[in-house]
């Protein structure tokens, strides 16, 4: 018999965060989170997303042993402002037992029905900057710190319980050696001269901070037309600014501004922390922090985390300016592999942006939905 219990205490929450460590302990591809960091992201007193969202966390037990988990989430900005009456769920992990996954999903459905929502979708996080999608292809590739990894059997559980595909995401990578500077060096000069643009590079995080709010505003503006986009609020900007910007190599953040010093485009790249996080095993101390700092300085793999271009400058070649700056930085750093975060299959514009680099789609992931009303 499977019993589902709501997380009520700090000990319960820690058990929720640590559960995947048990089912992925032998996987060379799963990337564990930092346990304390994950717990903080679920704390309403520390994560400002809870000002516009609510979440309940559940653990499934069989014979007093944890066999599954799920987070049931409602983003009220999405429900009230976008009129998407959607019940979100994420952090959905389980042993290969249909009774376990069904019990957890039923709990999510009950909450959604109780709020008169129309459908449930997952796995997704609280917002667009969270992890998204169940992996459906590419199980033999190491994960990243900003994506979920899962066993192949997960897919059969979604289908068994009557879920249908909602969105598909592609993950691509390419060799830095594929980046022929001739593709963008000349265009870089032409675009800057034609539109009066200039690049901004940074040597330290302090120089970046005055631009961060503008960057998030541009991010909201760039992606607002995509399905399921939920804007980043002002309080979230402050949270992400303090939590993440100082952790990213300053030279991996590139901005492009116009003649009036207004932000036209930005890109954020992160060194890959995957192998460092595997070595850390969920803890910063005593040695985990050193693995992460070493990766920050010496990782030969980088992840293109965010890129945004003001709508009136899209399709005008502004990416040539960004690529030209990254080419110089990556060459100096000895970067070998460039990895892109999950991108919506429908986002043709982003794929066109990378076509000259001969990218390879090495992973696919999906979100699934199910109606909550008959």
Contacts of 248 (CB under 8 A, 6+ apart): 205, 268, 269, 270
Q: Nearest 5°: phi and psi at 240? A: -65, -35
> For residue 202, what pLDDT is reported?
95
- pLDDT tens, position by position, 350-370: 888 888 899 999 999 999 999
Terminal CA-to-CA distance of the chain, rounded, Å? 28
Is the pLDDT at 227 greater than 80? The verdict is: no
Whether the predicted pLDDT of 317 surpasses 80: yes
Work out the mean pLDDT of the chain and round it to a whole number: 94
Helix (H, G, I), strand (E, B) or coil at 106: helix
DSSP 112-134: HHHTT-SEEEESB-SSTTS-B-E
Query: What are the beta bridge partners of residue 210?
Result: none
The answer for residues whose C-beta is within 8 angstroms of residue 151's C-beta and 6 or more apart is: 23, 24, 96, 139
- The upper half-sphere exposure of residue 363, i.e. CA atoms within 13 Å in the direction of its Cβ, equals 29
Q: What is the pLDDT of residue 373?
A: 85
**Contact predicate 322/265, CB 8 Å:** yes
**How many whole angstroms separate alpha carbon 112 and alpha carbon 18?**
26
Task: Report whether 178 contacts 268 (CB < 8 A).
Answer: no
77 in Cβ contact with 230 (< 8 Å): yes
Going by C-alpha positions, the residue among 200, 233, 230 that lies closest to residue 217 is 233
* 297, burial (CB in 10 Å: exposed 0-12, middle 13-18, buried 19+): exposed
70/245: higher pLDDT: 70
- 200 φ/ψ angles, rounded to the nearest 5 degrees: -120, 125
Query: Are 355 and 343 in contact, with CB atoms under 8 Å apart?
Result: no
Contacts 24+ apart (CB under 8 A), 8-15: 10/39, 12/57, 12/59, 13/39, 13/42, 13/57, 14/39, 15/59, 15/66
Model pLDDT for residues 15-47, shown as the tens digit of each residue: 999 999 999 999 999 999 999 999 999 999 999
pLDDT at 351: 83
- Residues in a beta bridge with 73: 55, 88
Q: How much is the pLDDT for 239?
A: 87
DSSP H or E run through 4 = strand 2-6
- Is the pLDDT at 327 greater than 90? The verdict is yes
- 251 DSSP assignment: G
pLDDT at residue 89 greater than cutoff 90: yes
Q: What is the pLDDT of residues 156-201, one digit of tens each?
A: 999 999 999 999 999 999 999 999 998 899 999 999 999 999 999 9
Superfamily of structural domain 2-171+367-371? Gcn5-related N-acetyltransferase (GNAT) (3.40.630.30)
Domain boundaries, given as residue ranges, for the chain:
2-171+367-371, 175-362
The percentage of the chain sitting over the pLDDT mark of 70, rounded to a whole number, equals 99
Please tell me the predicted confidence (pLDDT) of residue 93.
98
Tell me what the mean pLDDT of segment 213-235 comes to: 83
Residue 129 · residue 333 · CB < 8 Å: no
Helix 319-333 with 185-195: angle, nearest 10 deg: 140
Residues 6+ apart with CB under 8 A from 89: 70, 71, 72, 73, 105, 108, 120, 121, 122, 123, 124
The enclosing H or E element of 239 equals: helix 234-243
User: Quick one: angle between helices 205-223 and 234-243, nearest 10?
Assistant: 140
Handedness of CA 104, 110, 115, 121 (dihedral sign): positive
Least confident of 6-10, 111-115, 204-208, 255-259: 204-208
User: Read out DSSP for 65-103?
Assistant: EEEEEEEEEEEHIIIIIS---EEEEEEEEE-S-HHHHHH
pLDDT of 226 strictly over 80:
no
* Within this chain, domains 2-171+367-371 and 175-362 share the same CATH topology: yes
| pLDDT beyond 70 at 228 | no
Domain 175-362 CATH class label: alpha beta
Band the pLDDT of 225: cuts 50, 70, 90. confident
- Name the pLDDT band for 349 (thresholds 50, 70, 90): confident
Percent of the chain with pLDDT over 90: 84
């Amino acid at each position: 018999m499977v019993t589902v219990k709501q997380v009520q205490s700090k000990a319960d929450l820690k058990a929720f965060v640590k559960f995947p460590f048990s089912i992925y302990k032998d996987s060379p591809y799963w990337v564990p989170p930092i346990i304390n960091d994950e717990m903080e992201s679920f704390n309403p007193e520390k994560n400002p997303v809870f000002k516009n969202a609510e979440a309940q966390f559940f653990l499934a037990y069989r014979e007093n042993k944890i066999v599954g988990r799920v987070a049931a989430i409602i983003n009220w900005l999405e429900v009230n402002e976008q009129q998407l009456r959607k019940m979100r769920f994420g952090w959905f992990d389980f042993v290969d037992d249909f009774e376990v996954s069904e019990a957890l999903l039923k709990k999510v459905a009950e909450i959604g029905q109780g709020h008169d929502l129309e459908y449930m979708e997952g796995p997704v996080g609280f917002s667009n900057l969270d992890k998204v999608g169940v992996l459906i292809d590419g199980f033999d590739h190491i994960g990243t710190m900003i994506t979920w990894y899962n066993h192949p059997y997960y897919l059969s559980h979604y289908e068994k319980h009557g879920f249908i595909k909602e969105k598909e995401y592609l993950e691509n990578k390419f060799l830095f050696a594929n980046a022929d500077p001739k593709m963008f060096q000349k265009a870089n000069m032409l675009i800057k001269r034609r539109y009066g643009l200039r690049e901004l590079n940074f040597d330290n995080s302090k120089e970046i901070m005055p631009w961060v709010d503008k960057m998030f505003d541009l991010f909201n503006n760039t992606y607002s037309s995509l399905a399921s986009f939920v804007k980043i609020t002002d309080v979230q900007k402050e949270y992400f600014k303090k939590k993440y910007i100082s952790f990213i190599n300053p030279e991996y953040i590139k901005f492009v501004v116009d003649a009036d010093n207004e932000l036209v485009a930005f890109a954020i790249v992160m060194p890959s922390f995957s192998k460092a996080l595997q070595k850390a095993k969920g803890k910063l101390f005593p040695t985990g922090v050193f693995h992460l700092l070493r990766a920050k300085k010496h990782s030969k793999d980088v992840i293109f985390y965010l890129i945004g271009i003001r709508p009136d400058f899209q399709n005008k070649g502004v990416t040539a300016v960004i690529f030209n700056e990254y080419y110089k930085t990556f060459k100096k750093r000895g970067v070998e592999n460039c990895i892109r975060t999950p991108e919506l299959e429908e986002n043709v514009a982003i794929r066109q942006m990378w076509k000259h680099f001969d990218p390879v789609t090495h992973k696919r992931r999906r979100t699934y939905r199910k109606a909550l009303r008959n």
